[in-house]
Amino acid sequence: MAQILGFLARRDGALSRTDIDAAIVRLGFGRVAAGRQQAIEAGRGYLFWSGRGAPTAAQDGGLAVVFNGWIYNPEELPTAPDDASVFLALSRKAGFEGAVQRVNGDFGLALLDESAACLWLARDRLGLQPLYYVEQPGFVAFASRPRPLCGLPGVDGRPDPSFVARFAGSHYRSFDNDPHASPYRGVRQLPAAHVLKATSGGIACRPYWALTDAGDVIGGGEAELAERYRDLLIDATRRRLARADRACFTLSGGMDSSSVLSAAVQVGGHPLPAFSTVYEDPTFDESQDIQPMLGPKAEPWIPVAVGDPDVFGLVRDMVALHDEPVATATWLSHYLLAGEVAREGYTAVFGGLGGDELNAGEYEYFLFHFADLQQAGRTAELEQEIAAWVAHHDHPIHRKSRATVEDGFRRMIDFSVPGRCLPDTGRLHRYVSALDPGLFDLTAYRPVMPHPFTSYLKNRCYQDIFFETAPCCLRAEDRHTSAFGLARFDPFLDHRLVTFMFQVPGDMKFRRGVTKTLLRQAMTGVLPEETRTRVKKTGWNAPAHLWFTGKGADQVRDLIGSRAFRERGVYRVDVVEGLLNDHETVVKGGELRENHMMFLWQLVNLEAWLESLSNGAVGGRS
């Protein structure tokens, strides 16, 4: 909902007033930032806040703070009129890092210490609020988005060739593998749960919090754990509702968004407004699955029909807001939903992001639970779970069998190191042949995959939260809600809840081929039974396969036939043409094999981004 920006000059005149004003315009999505603004000058430092509502910026006794986000535990902290003032008072008492560790919140923040000529930055534990920075000999600067920093003196704002190659020819799970990187060569990202200290002598960046392997929860039975889970989720929702004004909820047919909405109803005692994207294609439309939530939980319910969207026009709009290409097609639907939320007069939106990663809700997590069972020698249970998985989830394209499990073990499990997962190189390198070989050697790319846990399932979920699925989703959610002046809240990503769920064993997340076991038990009496017990998962997806056939395919052909596309030096045009033709064959013929919608979505987004930059050169090419 807010944007922040600032700098610490290491010498006089390092940044001009023109430089600062231009960065502020870029911070405001290409216009002067909307809403209220506050600027603070402190010695050689400068802080800027822009957003709706009262500014969260404070200055006192040589210290100045700008705060983007929310504090959820005010009862444990000093009393002050706003979050920036709370943090400033807390930092005087506990020091900067001590203050950050005591805050339960979603935040990107900066503190200037005038006497020490020091700039501190911090980002919340799960990375809900973004923060980027640059370092030059004469200054260190930061912003909520990367593009405002690209125009500063000496900053290399060209696209990073590794990012371009991964976006062009790899899977979206590879885009955020380096949490310090941005899509721009000269701009860095502050990772989740990190602080940064900048002085005249340099910068130091380090974590202030981390998930650690504390084993599985000891003490109490499953019913007690379910009760603890329910209480944590309701409390996380309650704390966020206390900060929200005119709140509404995104609602799909699944467990996560339904649980967040139902938890909020428990807090308030009455139904709450909900928005859902709906489609003509019944494969993707969840209207029927949503019906049990209507009335007792959701009132009013506002369906947002996606219909036949202007994909190319919407992608250009979204890329301008994101400062980068948009990872997946689902976020086009979310962009339309966010706009409708704002038009209906709501100012805060709650969602279920993080629920899949905490509750092992993705279908591919089964393999890693199976690996834990095999590693533990629980053979009979393993065979029962595989049989139930096949019975519930076999698919005509993505087949399920004992042989499928063995193939997954061979490719993605290292049984010599307990808990060590391996990258799915087949998925990551599926479209390598479509890249110009002179761009970047994507075949040599291997993602970083830490393994802080001895459980394969926990490590796979950890990977998704910090290095794969969650970062791009949180970034897209932030860009869309900020563009429409909305606050956004994701209760599943309360760090207390995350810590708890990483101490829950896999057999409380999977049982008899069904996911999210403990959440289902925790939501007894809270969720409608039809929602709580539903086994099949549609997933929050969009029918992008149809967007790149017919008229959409012709638009892609025009794009790849353009001189700019051919001279860009990113793709092999003949291979792309073949993939587009094959995509149409698969979709129009209803063939039971994978289409290429994700590749084409990424291509259209990447080209829109490169075209939007004043210099679209990649890897030094013109």
**Same-domain check for residues 255 and 347:** yes
Final residue of a structural domain among 466, 489, 505: 466
**Same-domain check for residues 31 and 146:** yes
**Same-domain check for residues 173 and 30:** yes
Bigger pLDDT: 474 vs 215: 474
CA distance 432 to 164: 12
Whether residue 215 lies inside any domain: the answer is no
* pLDDT value at residue 283: 85
**375-415 residue pLDDT tens:** 999 999 999 999 999 999 988 888 999 999 999 999 999 99
**Same-domain check for residues 509 and 424:** no
Bigger pLDDT: 444 vs 621: 444
For the chain, report the end-to-end CA distance as a whole number of angstroms.
Answer: 37
Q: How confident is the model at residue 220 (pLDDT cuts 50, 70, 90)?
A: confident
Whether residue 395 lies inside any domain: the answer is yes
Q: Which of 124-128, 220-224, 329-333, 481-485 has the lowest mean pLDDT?
A: 220-224
Q: In the predicted model, what is the mean pLDDT of the chain?
A: 94
**46-56 residue pLDDT tens:** 999 998 888 89
Average pLDDT over residues 307-324: 96
Domain that holds residue 490: 222-358+469-532
Q: How confident is the model at residue 563 (pLDDT cuts 50, 70, 90)?
A: very high
- What is the tally of structural domains in the chain? 4
∠ CA 578-584-587, rounded to 5°: 135
Whether residue 216 lies inside any domain: the answer is no
* pLDDT value at residue 621: 29
* pLDDT value at residue 535: 86
**Same-domain check for residues 348 and 373:** no
Number of H helices, E strands in the chain: 25, 19
Rounded to two decimals, the pTM is 0.96
Final residue of a structural domain among 207, 233, 268: 207
**Same-domain check for residues 37 and 129:** yes
Whether residue 298 lies inside any domain: the answer is yes
Q: Specify the CATH number for the domain of residue 141.
A: 3.60.20.10
Nearest Cα to 145, choosing from 475, 468, 477? 475
**Same-domain check for residues 202 and 255:** no
Whether residue 622 lies inside any domain: the answer is no
* pLDDT value at residue 33: 40
* pLDDT value at residue 581: 98
**111-168 residue pLDDT tens:** 999 999 999 999 999 999 999 999 999 999 999 999 999 999 999 999 999 999 999 9
Final residue of a structural domain among 447, 466, 485: 466
* pLDDT value at residue 539: 65
* pLDDT value at residue 32: 37
Whether residue 214 lies inside any domain: the answer is no
**Same-domain check for residues 138 and 8:** yes
| Residue 307: Cβ-neighbour burial (10 angstroms; 0-12, 13-18, 19+) | exposed
* pLDDT value at residue 30: 42
* Proportion of the chain above pLDDT 70, given as a percent: 96
- Per-residue DSSP letters for 47-97? EEEEESSS--EEEETTEEEEEEEEES-GGGS---SSHHHHHHHHHHHH-HH
Residues 6+ apart with CB under 8 A from 498: 125, 126, 211, 354, 358, 465, 492
Residues 6+ apart with CB under 8 A from 194: 122, 123, 205, 206, 207, 208
Instruction: Name the strands in the sheet holding 188-189, side by side, starting at the edge strand that comes first in the sequence.
Output: 36-42, 45-51, 2-9, 139-143, 132-136, 188-189
Q: Specify the CATH number for the domain of residue 496.
A: 3.40.50.620
Most confident by average pLDDT, 215-224, 336-345, 540-549, 612-621: 336-345
pLDDT at 622 over 80: no
Nearest Cα to 357, choosing from 433, 461, 213, 282? 461
Bigger pLDDT: 25 vs 334: 334
Give the pairing of strands 247-250 and 348-350: parallel
**Same-domain check for residues 489 and 584:** no
Nearest Cα to 50, choosing from 24, 78, 22? 24
Give the up-direction half-sphere exposure of residue 259: CA atoms within 13 A in the CB hemisphere: 30
* Whether the Cβ atoms of residue 76 and residue 50 lie closer than 8 Å to each other: no
**Same-domain check for residues 275 and 318:** yes
pLDDT at 84 over 50: yes
Whether residue 213 lies inside any domain: the answer is no
**Same-domain check for residues 109 and 147:** yes
**Same-domain check for residues 441 and 497:** no
Whether residue 83 lies inside any domain: the answer is yes
- Computed over its alpha carbons, how large is the radius of gyration of the chain? 24
